[in-house]
Amino acid sequence: MRFKLLRRRLTISAPRMAVRSAMPWPLRWAAAAIVLGFCGAIALWAFEFGKDIAGLETGAKEELLRLRNDNAKLREERDKAQSVFNTSASLLTAEKTAQERLTAQVKSLEAENRQLRDDLGFFEKLMPASGEGLAIRGLQAEVLAGGSQLKWQVLVMQPGKNVAEFRGKLQLSLSGTQNGKPWMMDLPGGALPIQFRQYRRVEGMVDLPPQAVVQNVSAKLVEGAATRAVQSIKL
């Protein structure tokens, strides 16, 4: 009987046995985590050690330092270029302002020069001819653009120091053609009262009728019923 029991236990037909550990499962998980962390630390150490051996970390630091230096140089060059640009813009603005000021001065000088030439011509006309008395000098007339108006100017004078004041009238007559026919007209409103001792300049505007072509302008100084001076010009 004992032999049969012993044989049953030692052969395939023996009953199955389960071996169970006495360690609780939380301790098992903790042990597994410690083992995995240790393996990860070893792997990281191996990676860093490999980089140090290969020189990758040193090269990356040198490259980063070089890039930072290049970036600083580029920023410095950009700041210099911006400063030069700002200075150039200021110079251009100042030059433009100076040019505009010079242009305005040139225009002012040209206008002053024209005025001086006109005044010179005016005073040249004041110089009396030998033996000349009361006279009309400097009669000028110009038909303006459009042909609807005529601008005129007359300088009258009597040379001498102690001359009597002239009191009379200035008559202005226009002649030419209108629609192909002879045409004449005087100043609207008649002759202009005028008085002067040595010289006087008179000017004005005349509205022309349609289709009128002015060919001749005549000015007269009249004192009472006598004509004292006459001057005519052709246009």
* pLDDT tens-digit profile, the chain (235 residues): 555 555 555 555 555 555 555 556 666 666 677 777 767 667 776 666 565 555 555 566 677 788 888 888 888 888 888 888 888 778 888 888 888 888 888 888 888 888 877 766 666 555 555 455 788 887 889 988 788 899 999 988 887 777 788 899 999 999 999 988 999 999 888 899 998 888 888 899 999 998 889 999 999 999 988 888 899 999 8
Q: How far apart are CA 50 and CA 136, in angstroms?
A: 116
135-143/149-157 β-pairing: antiparallel
pLDDT at 171: 93
User: What is the value of pTM for the model shown?
Assistant: 0.46
pLDDT at 130: 47
| Torsion angle, alpha carbons of 102, 103, 106, 110, to 10 | -170
E strands present in the chain: 135-143, 149-157, 166-178, 181-186, 192-196, 199-207, 212-223, 226-234
pLDDT at 110: 86
Sign of CA dihedral 123, 125, 127, 132: negative
Phi (first) and psi of residue 211, to 5 degrees: 65, 15
Q: How many CA atoms does the CB half-sphere of 154 hold within 13 Å?
A: 24
